[in-house]
Each structure stands twice: as C-alpha cells, then as structure tokens.
Chains A and B, each alone.
Chain A
C-alpha cells in the first residue's frame, strides 16, 4: 500500500468511525495480518478499545480474520475496501435511479450498517419511508421485500458468508473463531419469509450447505421478542456488481458520444444480456448472435434486422474496436482502455494545455516517435514542442526509449524515441488522485474546524428558533433570535458552505477518475 493510499484510508476511517477505529485500522493496513494482543501492544491502546474497534471494522467488512494454528486468530485489513467508502454516495444514487427510493434506502442501510439481516433491513426501510409519507399511511413491508428480492436477483446485494451449522456436537472445544463459508449458488438466495401482516412461513433456505430442509424450530412469531426467522443470514451490498454497472454506463455513454443514440442502445442491450453471464472482470463478453440482440432490444426501438446488422458492422469496423465480429462480440475491456486514454488526455488538457494533449495523443497513436517527428506531425514549433515534451517527461508521463545504431551505444549515434506507456501513466495518475482526494478531505476538515464555533452557534440558533416556532412564538421574537447571527457572520457561513460544497463535489469527481483508472489497471494486469 502506498503512503498516499494509507493516508487516505486514515482520513476516511477517522471521518466515519472515529479516532480509535482509525488508529487500529491504519495499523493493520500498514503491518498486515496480526493477532489481537500484538495490535494492542503496538498501538498502545487498551485491549477493550481494540476489541471495540475490531468489532466495528469486521461488521463493515473492512477487516477479516483467520484462524491460524494453535488457535491464534489474526486480523487483516483490506485497504481497497476502505477506499470504496468514497464511493458510497454514488452506489446509493445508482440504486435510486434503478429502483427508486425504496431501493435507495435499502442499499443505504446496508452500507451504513455493514451487514444486516433481511428482516432488519425491511423493517428499518419501511420505518424510514413511513416517516416521509403522509400521516396515516404506512409503508407495507411487502413492497420493501419485493424491492429487496429484485436487488438480490440482479445481484446488487449478496449474502455474507455464514457460520456453518454443525449437525452433531463438537468433539472438542468450539474453535476460537468461526470459519465462515459461503456456497456460491446460495449467494443470492433470498430466504422466503413474509413479514408482518401475514402468517409466517417456515424458513426454506438454510445456511447448511448440506441443504437440510426446513428449520428445526417452528416459527410462528407475531411479536418482536421471538427470534427472527432469518436469523444468521446477513446481507451486504455487492460492490463488484455496482462497479460492473458503472463500467457499462461509461461504455454506453462513450459509444453514444462517438456515434449516435441507437448504437449506444445496441451496446447497452448487449451488455445487459451478458450482465450475469460474464464475470465482472472478463476482458470480453460472451459472444452474442445478432438474432439474440435483435430479440432483446427494448420495445421502443423497432428497427429492422438489416439496420441492426448495419449498426453492428459499423461498430465492429470502428477503429476504437468496441465490438469485435464473429467470435467475441463485445470488447468490454478494450473500451475501458480507450476511456482511460481519454481520461489521461483530459487530465492533460487541464494541466498542460491542448497542445500537450495533441502531442500526447500523437505519440500514443504512433507508439514511438523521434523528437523531429513529433514536431512535424503535431505542427507545433520546435521550441514549444521541446518544452512540452520535457515537461511530460519530467512528470513521467512519457519515457525515452533508446535504440542504438552502433553496438557501443554511442549517444551521438543513438535514436531516442519518445513513447507512452499507458499502464505506468495510469498508475501514476491514480497515485496522484489519491493524494488529491486526501488533500481535499484535509482542507475540508480544516475549514470546518476553523469555523467550528460559528457553526455551533448557528445550529443553536436554529434549534432555538425551531423550538420557539413549535411553541408558537411571535414573529418579533423570532426576528430577534435570528439577529443573533450578525450579517458578517452570516456571510462567513455562506462562504464556508460554498467552499465545503465545492470540496465535496471535487472529491466525488476525483473518485470517478479513480474508478476508471483502477478498473483499467485491474483488467490490464489480469490480461497479462
């Protein structure tokens, strides 16, 4: 883990879980897998605090544990999972667009709590929704359950590995820590429970991998004191599936930008059809025949078969190779590499200007170029070209390749070619992104801390106003209280709010870049 990543993790943990959890978490990320006592000793925190922190971290899937020999349990943190916390709002928003408010709240609850049982989720979400509805109306559990089932069917939520039930009593003492197993096909199996309002059916899916039918205890619960029917089956949000969705979205919008709406619809259909059949990191989707595509096109697009074929040919012939013909139709990862290039380009544009971007694209296309050639092709005066090339070289976006003419590598008789290695450039950019997000978060915290007093004062005033309104105070009194905050203070508050918003928005944007870069690096390294 690079220093930048560790710093970012530390900031995120601190913001969301407090300092104790942050200390433990960062220590685990830095030092790898460790047992409980060593953690307590090295970080200098009391054993109880460490236990607290570990419980929280494990609950949120940030730390996993393993039983080693002699009963020692070691804990390991997952840095990448911590970094995902940046993306929570994006996950929730995506669910909102797909499954409306109910789905949004379900995913939000799952993300906030790490893992939950289905009944707990349904209850919480229904309560929350009832809050926002008008008086007298309540949210039916059934509707929430339906949305939950749909989310499970499309793999957006998945089951957590669960404790294997032991049929017979243990021969020896129970193990110090349970080994959690998960059966692949059970991962999206929703337990059949119908909640409040109807009779309870028996649990029909068990954690038992042997597939024992029916729970041993009859479950006729009408009140909350009884054990909940799906006790022990926990669900978590399936982040990989979200990532796949984001990727598809990016591909579709790229195609739409390049060509027209219809072709993007075609690509979207293809992607949707291979959503569940292809694993999330495969380089290509499964081959699809054009007939299948035709059949699965959304109803609104009634284009004839020939037109569809034409479009497919167009897509296949496109130099960017979105779609490959006969054999593998669907170049998911090719597109990602294109998208990454675009991102690198746009970051260039912002930092160095459009001419630099031109040079960069040129070198990318021609793979290797000499100094003179760069000048000629890019049509940029020599001095400027040189300047930009060196700037890029110093930032490590470009590299020099030596090609000796003579066996003794004499510098005067060697070609020096400029070349771009996308993978390393991507890694570098990613590293920069981490650093910039860390900076953004720190700045935001700094700003808030500076104005802490003012913020508290304004909150207090708001509370007072609200309470007075509730008890029916007069207009004059309210005015008086409002004036407790003077005008310059109000302005200061406004500026603060604006700045914090800007910083937050930038964080979100940088996170999108991070996502693209990470997926690119992941799939390229897998391919090799």
Chain B
C-alpha cells in the first residue's frame, strides 16, 4: 500500500513496480510508442518453412484439387436458383438455369432420415431431352461422348486448374448415364445459326449458376 500510494503521490513518470526487476534498466531506450495500427503486411524477418514437395506432396496436392472439382460435380452440391430475369431472351433457351424446382438429384435412404425432410427426387430427364431435340438421332460413338463431356465440363465453370483429363472423364462416367445426351458436332447443321462455344454474350460476369445440363447447350 505504501509504495502504491507513494508512487501516485510522488509525481509522474513513476511506475508502480520496480522497472529493474522486469528488466528495463535506467536510461535504456524504449521502443517508440505505437500511434497507428500495425501494417497490413509487415516485412517478414525470417523465411518461412519450405512447402512439402516431392512425390508425396505433389500427389496430395493433385488429390486435393481433384477432390474439390469432384465435389462440385456431385449431386450434393446445391446451387442456388438463378433469379428470373426481367425480359425473356432468346439466349435463355440455350443457357442453363439453376434448379428452380425443389427436388434433389440423388436418392437418399429415406428410412434413415426424419420424415419431415422428405422431398421428391428429381427424375432423370429423359422426357425433356425428347422435347427439345426432336430431330437429333442419338449417336453413341465413344469419341463423341467424351467430347460432349468436355463441352459439358467447360460450362460447369470449374475452378480447378490442374485437373487431369482422365480424372474428369472418370468422374463424368460416374454420373447417371441417362443424363447425357448425344448431339451433333459443331460442324453439323444445328438449330441456331451461331456456334454456341464461341458465343459469349458477356453476361457471364454476372455469374450464372449452372447445374447438370439437360439441354442442348455447348
């Protein structure tokens, strides 16, 4: 008590504890007081630890990126519905829209889930294919299928950079086969005058949502 009262009474510059005990000697220059928040990117004094490299590190890295891409393709990835635009446009027919209806694409085991969660499972859109593509005979060559998958992939706006082509194909194979449909190559006659893959109407900046495609888009 005495020292505390004494400290206050005897004038400023006196601290309540003995500075030397903590280690600040007399006459030592203290660092200047901080008047502003610390810089956003302070200079790094020491080099950070090197990242894992070598076969294992690279394999795990590739695996991670693949997984990320794969999870986006699975039916568990729920995309929010695209808000309806003000005016109906011609291009709407050829662009994908999100799942506006309230169905899910996979079939859970309803016995394991609470009853209140039950929603209908989206049926595979065989019917919709026939409505939109009446003139196109299904061609089922192996090449075309893979090309189509590639074209489908690019529309999915994958953010994966180092995906291997093989893995992509494998993942596509796992999806229900019925959802893929065969349609002609670009060189063949089509309904539109424009080759869709070259068509970029600039509205992509808005960030269309996408989904498993069931329409003839490129």
Q: B60, A93: Cβ atoms under 8 Å?
A: yes
Does A6 sit within 8 A of B, measured CB to CB? no
Q: Which residues of A contact B53 (CB under 8 A)?
A: 505
Known contacts A52-B119, A55-B104, A456-B154; is-contact A131 B170 (Cβ 8 Å): yes
A327 interfacial contact with B, CB 8 Å = no
B46 contact from A53, A113, A349, Cβ within 8 A = A349
A128 and B172 alpha carbons, distance in the complex (Å): 11
A414 touches B109 (CB 8 A): no
Asked whether B67 lies within 8 Å of A460 as measured between CB atoms, the reply is: no
B94 contacts chain A at the CB level, 8 A cutoff:
no
Contact of A16 (CB < 8 Å), options: B16, B51, B71, B146: B71
Chain B nearest CB from A263 CB (Å) reads 24
User: Quick check: A112 and B71 within 8 Å, CB to CB?
Assistant: yes
Q: A412-B18, A459-B158 are known contacts. Are A506 and B51 too (CB-CB below 8 A)?
A: yes
A365 at the interface (CB under 8 A from B): no
* A176–B115 CB distance below 8 A: yes
Tell me if A93 and B56 are in contact (CB < 8 A).
yes
Considering only CB atoms, which chain B residue lies closest to A387 in the complex?
Answer: B31
Given contacts A17-B71, A52-B102, A371-B23, contact A505 B57 (CB under 8 A): yes
Would you call A496 an interface residue if the criterion is a C-beta within 8 Å of the partner chain's C-beta atoms? yes
Knowing A46-B102, A178-B112, the reply to whether A89 touches B67 (Cβ < 8 A) is yes
Interface of chain B residues 107 through 126 with chain A (CB within 8 A): 108-109, 111-119
Among residues of B, the one whose C-beta sits closest to the C-beta of A104 is B63
Return chain A residues, CB-CB under 8 Å to B56. 93
**At the interface, yes or no: A408 with Cβ under 8 Å from chain B?**
yes
Interfacial chain B residues near A88, Cβ < 8 Å: 64, 67
In the complex, chain A residues whose CB is within 8 Å of the CB of B185: 467, 471
Closest Cβ of chain A to B70, distance in Å, is: 6
Residue B132 interfacial (CB < 8 Å): no
Given contacts A383-B28, A506-B51, A508-B52, contact A371 B21 (CB under 8 A): yes
Chain B residues whose CB sits within 8 angstroms of the CB of A496 once the complex forms: 161
Measured CA separation A92–B61 after assembly (Å): 12
Decide: B111 and A232 in contact? CB cutoff 8 A: yes
Given contacts A16-B68, A452-B157, A504-B65, contact A412 B116 (CB under 8 A): no
* Residues 86-145 of A contacting B (Cβ, < 8 Å): 88-90, 92-93, 108, 112-114, 124, 127-128, 131-132
Interface size grouping (class) on chain B: 35 or more
Chain B contacts for A477, CB-based, 8 A? none
| Chain B residues within 8 Å of A504, by CB | 61, 64-65
Chain B residues closer than 8 Å to A299, beta-carbon distance? none
How many Å from the CB of B59 to the closest CB on chain A? Answer: 6
Q: Does A427 contact B (CB under 8 A)?
A: no
A59 to B108, CA, bound (A): 8
Determine if A59 and B154 form an interchain contact, defined as CB atoms under 8 angstroms apart: no
Given contacts A93-B56, A466-B150, are A411 and B18 in contact (CB under 8 A)? Answer: yes
A416 at the interface (CB under 8 A from B): yes
Does A509 count as interface, using CB distance less than 8 angstroms? yes
CA distance A232 to B17 in the complex (A): 70
Q: Which B residues lie within 8 Å of A383 (CB)? A: 28
- Tell me if B49 is interfacial: C-beta within 8 Å of chain A: yes
A382 to B61, CA, bound (A): 45
Q: Which of B23, B166, B186 contacts A382 (CB 8 A)?
A: B23
A108 and B111 CA atoms in complex are apart in Å by 25
Q: Say whether B46 contacts A350, CB under 8 Å.
A: yes
Q: How far is the CA of A16 from the CA of B159 in the complex (A)?
A: 12
Beta-carbon contacts under 8 Å, B86-113 to A: 102, 104, 108-109, 111-113
Closest chain A residue to B77 by CB distance? A18
Q: Chain A: residues with CB nearer than 8 A to chain B? A: 15-21, 36, 46, 48-49, 51-56, 58-60, 65, 67, 73, 88-90, 92-93, 108, 112-114, 124, 127-128, 131-132, 162-163, 174, 176-178, 180, 232, 234, 346, 349-353, 371-372, 382-383, 386, 389, 408, 410-416, 448, 452-453, 455-456, 459-460, 462-464, 466-467, 470-471, 496-497, 500-502, 504-509
Some 10 contacts from A to B, beta carbons below 8 A apart, are: A54-B117, A56-B76, A59-B108, A92-B63, A232-B111, A386-B23, A410-B3, A466-B165, A506-B51, A508-B52
Interface residues of B (CB under 8 A from A): 1-3, 16-18, 21-25, 28, 45-49, 51-53, 56-57, 59-61, 63-65, 67-68, 70-72, 74, 76-80, 102, 104, 108-109, 111-119, 143-144, 146-147, 150-151, 153-154, 157-159, 161-162, 165-166, 169-170, 173-174, 185-187, 197, 204-205
**Besides the contacts A51-B117, A178-B114, A455-B159, what 19 more A-B pairs have beta carbons closer than 8 Å?**
A49-B102, A52-B104, A55-B104, A55-B113, A59-B76, A73-B114, A89-B60, A127-B173, A163-B112, A177-B116, A180-B112, A349-B46, A410-B2, A448-B161, A456-B157, A456-B204, A462-B150, A508-B60, A509-B51
The 7 lowest CB-CB distance pairs between A and B, nearest first, are: A411-B17, A177-B114, A48-B102, A412-B18, A371-B23, A89-B64, A89-B63
